[in-house]
A and B are shown apart, each in its own frame.
Chain A
Amino acid sequence: MDVKGLVQLGTCKWQIPMEGPMRVPAILYADRQLLSEMDDKVQEQLKNVASLPGIVKAAFAMPDAHWGYGFPIGGVAAFDPDEGGVISVGGVGYDISCGVRTLLTGLNKQEVLQRLDPLIEELFRVVPSGVGSEGKIRLSPDKLDEVLVGGARWAVDIGYGERKDLEYVEEHGTMPGADPSCVSDTAKRRQYRQVGTLGSGNHYLEIQYVERIFEPAIAAAFGLEEDAVIVAIHCGSRALGHQIGTDYLQVLAKAAKKYNIPIRERELVCAPINSPEGRRYFKAMACGINCALANRQVIDHLVRQVFHDQFPKATMGLLYDVSHNTCKIENHGVEGVIKGLYVHRKGATRAFGPGRKELPERFKTVGQPLFIGGTMGTCSFILSGQDEGERLAWGSACHGAGRAMSRRAALKRWKGKSIVSDLAHRGIIVKTASFRGAAEEAPEAYKDVVRVVEATHDAGLAKKVALVRPMACIKG
């Protein structure tokens, strides 16, 4: 992206001034280098978002932003229902509520290393991953509706996990407002055998250890110390979420025409929040969020069982469960007045500071934990939300490293088998159902997660708490 047309407002804050149909400015959080490496399309898509009816304050891009579908990936925007605000399929994305759940094992690196091989073999056997994999849970149509309404709470009710887990999931495990009658039969049928499966693409299950602590007090509140082993589960709402997105692109395309909202990109279709079409999409999307929360809860339970078998002393508490692709109703201050806004986060993590009432008691002095996934060969980060972040971007931060190289280019450059053996030489065990997938997800195909996290920290969106390194990874 050419930085010439941008106005620099801080070391990691840039503004695209208002022009043409834009109703508000657009703000990019990134350092100069990240910005210059970003696609031009990010700027174009962000301007399109800034032109939507009822948008409040600005359209925001996180430091890991790249070209997306309608919204840029890493795009955040809030809409006011009382000002004709809209809800957009592109603002949520296809993999509704894709996110990361992080477990604290209560074990240290040395302990886990002693049994790492059997541990990862067993996890790979027990957690279904990759193309054509099916979960153990087979659902009838009415049972699936219970998943879509109950989310993680549904999973806990049938024995997957513990009630106290729910406190450490966004929305306490259940997204309100879900109505399965707004979800198509096709979407539901695609999900009957997929609850509790990891999927493929960039989804993974990783065993990691804490290498470095930046904020000891916050780390302690999160239950993290050096050499502590954690588990990260990255997956989403599987085929159901995608089908909801596909179905509602058509519904909202018609709605946009009906309500005279100009469409600048086919995936940026939207409807007023206060319209029958907008309300239906919200109710369906809420089902997608619950599906993802249930999915991660089930996988979490499978992971805990395997750990307990291998390590009877493992504690396996839940640190937190964050979602990346959502639209949520949140109270935020707008010019001194608290308003209920529809906050879209497409490839961005909610990052609430200590003051927010949504957080569990344990995090009320330190802020919400965020998990920023790197690659299977580098490192990941744990951050905490800051009160300042609410003013900067509605309490949002980056979600990962972001790709630097296309999947096709990665496939040409690397062989999956050699990626896996190179990582093994470096002490990182990778299990995968697809060597093609391993090549596409090669560590060097991604941007440097360290720079993305530094920019997030420097911008004030969230605070760096700990750096974690991979020990073993199941790539979906």
Chain B
Amino acid sequence: MEKGIAAKGFGTFDHVADIGIRGWGKTIEEAFENAAVALFSIIVEDLDQVIPREHIEIHCESMDLEGLFVAWLNELLAQASIRNMVFSRFKCHIRDMELEGLASGERFDPLRHQRGEEVKGATFTQLAVRRQDGLWLAQCVVDV
């Protein structure tokens, strides 16, 4: 395992046309939350500049953990684009393949937020939610 990524909690990986995102955590929830940070780090270059002043409730469900992970990321992207917001803090709780979460951020401000790439959606490619080296890993490729 790459020690740097485990310490950081999130990161990206190679894909031929798009980009892979991943999050690590002591729990599944933490891995999901960290992967969301990886996702929004593509959209805004300096996520530290995104003040978590507004909180949006997130709800999604699926048949399995992997499906739930993709649904979580897609719901975050949908809520962000509907409100023209960017998020920087995430909390989620999973029970019986249902996720209740909170995404915190603010309206996109081109003067303060350095534009990265728009992410169109999370995909099922190179999708995994599993335990690895004593931690939870959640990852997939996102379409940019």
Seen from chain A, the residues whose Cβ lies within 8 Å of a Cβ on chain B are: 39, 66-69, 73, 94-95, 130-132, 134, 186, 189-190, 193-194, 199-201, 239, 242-243, 245-246, 249, 265-267, 402-403, 406-409, 433-434, 436-437, 440, 476
Q: Are B17 and A245 in contact (CB under 8 A)?
A: no
A434 to chain B: which residues have CB within 8 Å?
A: 45, 114-117
Beyond A69-B125, A436-B45, whether A406 also contacts B117 by CB under 8 A is no
Interchain residue pairs with CB less than 8 A apart (9): A94-B143, A131-B44, A190-B78, A242-B121, A406-B15, A407-B18, A408-B20, A433-B110, A476-B118
B113 to chain A: which residues have CB within 8 Å?
A: 132
- With the chains together, A451 CA to B108 CA distance in Å? 41
Q: Are A409 and B14 in contact (CB under 8 A)?
A: yes
Q: Which of A66, A186, A201, A407 counts the most B-chain CB atoms under 10 A from its CB?
A: A407
- With the chains together, A194 CA to B110 CA distance in Å? 16
Residues 72 to 115 of chain B near chain A (Cβ within 8 Å): 74, 78, 81-82, 84, 86, 108, 110, 113-115
Chain B binding surface SS class: loop
A94 to chain B: which residues have CB within 8 Å?
A: 120-121, 123, 143
Q: Are A406 and B16 in contact (CB under 8 A)?
A: yes
- With the chains together, A200 CA to B144 CA distance in Å? 8
Q: Given A132, A186, A200, A249, which contacts B82 in the complex, CB threshold below 8 Å?
A: A186
A201 to chain B: which residues have CB within 8 Å?
A: 117-118, 120, 144
Beyond A132-B110, A199-B118, A407-B144, whether A239 also contacts B81 by CB under 8 A is yes
- With the chains together, A245 CA to B121 CA distance in Å? 9
How many B residues, CB 8 Å from partner?
Answer: 34
B20 to chain A: which residues have CB within 8 Å?
A: 408
- With the chains together, A403 CA to B113 CA distance in Å? 28
A240 nearest CB neighbor, chain B only = B81
Seen from chain B, the residues whose Cβ lies within 8 Å of a Cβ on chain A are: 12-20, 43-45, 74, 78, 81-82, 84, 86, 108, 110, 113-118, 120-121, 123-125, 127, 143-144
- With the chains together, A440 CA to B19 CA distance in Å? 10
- With the chains together, A254 CA to B103 CA distance in Å? 29
A193 nearest CB neighbor, chain B only = B84
Q: Are A190 and B82 in contact (CB under 8 A)?
A: yes
Q: Are B143 and A242 in contact (CB under 8 A)?
A: yes
Q: Are A132 and B120 in contact (CB under 8 A)?
A: no
- With the chains together, A194 CA to B81 CA distance in Å? 9
Shortest distance from the beta carbon of B110 to any chain A beta carbon, whole Å: 6
Beyond A73-B17, A189-B82, A201-B144, whether A246 also contacts B117 by CB under 8 A is no
- With the chains together, A428 CA to B125 CA distance in Å? 36
Beyond A67-B16, A403-B16, A407-B19, whether A436 also contacts B117 by CB under 8 A is yes
